[in-house]
Amino acid sequence: MKLPRTLLVLFFTMAALAGSSGLAETITSARFEAPVDRYGHFALGRPHEYARLTATTDGGRRLLLELPENEVFEDRQPRLLRLAAGEPAEILAIVSRRDSGSRLVMIRLHADRLEIGAQSAPIGTPMRWLNPLGAADLDGDGRAEIAAVTTPHLGGTLRVYRRQGGELVEIAALTGFSNHLYGSSELGLATTMAIAGRLHLLVPDATRRRLRIVALKGDRLVETGSCALSAPVTGAVRPVSPSVVSVELLAGQQLIDLDTCGSGASAAQ
């Protein structure tokens, strides 16, 4: 039987709306659940090792991602981000594996479920951890890179990753950093800041007594400045103005004027 034209128009309009709604659905919030002790590193203190990630979408759905028995989310809070304008929101998290330590993972909504869409190579040793700074467009190409300090408790290395398909590929590294105290739940001991029109990484050195200013230049991380601190960094580093950051130290808060810091010129070999 041939349908009337008005019914055909209504049918295709509803189908198009349903299709566009499905495409538009995105993750709006997430949290870790089900604390476990099956890994037992507890770099962030208890209870920050979890078996499950729960995400909520703008369509009101609640989705779960359960890790296998040999892995945990060794993390405090999922980081919801977009690597480029117009892309769907994804979750950046730390997953630690019993035989190979920690790695970065990007978790996406795909085919009505959560899945790991991209990941970095693991550190390679159990009970070795990394602390992300987050995502920022460090080279000005419109797509964000992901920065993290691996083994921040053991003379850490600042690494920058770029997403290439299902991998987070390391593109540059520089040694001598720490952005975390073992056992602390504070993960914000570093930040990004625009300097001379370009985003830079502000990360404490391995002693946490200097704040190093680092830029991505081509395939190298280059230290462009270094600020002396009156005591070791123990808390958050936060921008408070275009040229000033607040740093939580063992001795209290210190305001750092980046315009008065000495310049440097060290880079990864």
- 116 pLDDT higher than 80: yes
**Which position has the higher pLDDT, 173 or 18?**
173
| Confidence label for 262 from pLDDT (cuts 50, 70 and 90) | low
Look at residues 141, 23, 136 and name the one whose alpha carbon lies nearest to residue 88: 23
Q: Report pLDDT for 181.
A: 97
3-state secondary structure 205-216: ECCCCEEEEEEE
pLDDT higher than 80, residue 219: yes
Q: Regarding beta strands 262-263 and 220-228, do their DSSP bridges make them parallel or antiparallel, or are they unpaired?
A: antiparallel
List, for residues 99-114, the tens digit of each pLDDT value. Answer: 999 999 999 999 889 9
| Adjacent-strand bridge partners of 55 | 30, 63
For the cut 80, the answer to whether the pLDDT of residue 264 exceeds it is no
Per-residue confidence (pLDDT) for residue 8, from 0 to 100: 38
Average pLDDT over residues 211-227: 96
pLDDT of residue 3: 46
| Other beta carbons within 10 Å of 218 | 9
**Structure pTM?**
0.88
